Amino acid sequence: MAVTVRIPTTLRPLSGGEKQVEVAAGALSDVITALEGAHPGFADRLLDEDGNLRKFVNIFVDDDDVRYLNGLSTEVIDGVTVSIIPAVAGG
């Protein structure tokens, strides 16, 4: 089984227009690595130069923000949905 990653509209060019992709389960860092392997460019958009989650990107494992879990060490088990949500700013 696999993990489903929901891709926001702004990042869909990286996934070939796909709204969601499936990758192997593991720690969130492993999920991002698998996503990068299948669709190059995601790591640059999700992680900063130190390998940490960018501040303007929110990632949810099911309904939980990973910043309130274990960050990139959060375990993502088979059948779970990971949602990438870009932060929205404006006035």
pLDDT, tens digit, 9 for 90 and up, residues 27-58: 999 999 999 999 999 999 999 999 999 999 99
pTM: 0.92
Q: What's residue 52's pLDDT?
A: 95
Exposure string over 13-40, b if 16+ CB within 10 A, otherwise e: ebbeeeeebebbbbebbbbbbbbbebbe
CATH no., domain 3-86: 3.10.20.30
Distance CA 45, CA 69 (A): 21
- Residues ≥6 apart with Cβ < 8 Å to 21: 4, 5, 7, 15, 35, 38, 39
For the chain, the structural domain boundaries read 3-86
Instruction: Report, as an integer, the average pLDDT of 75-89.
Output: 92
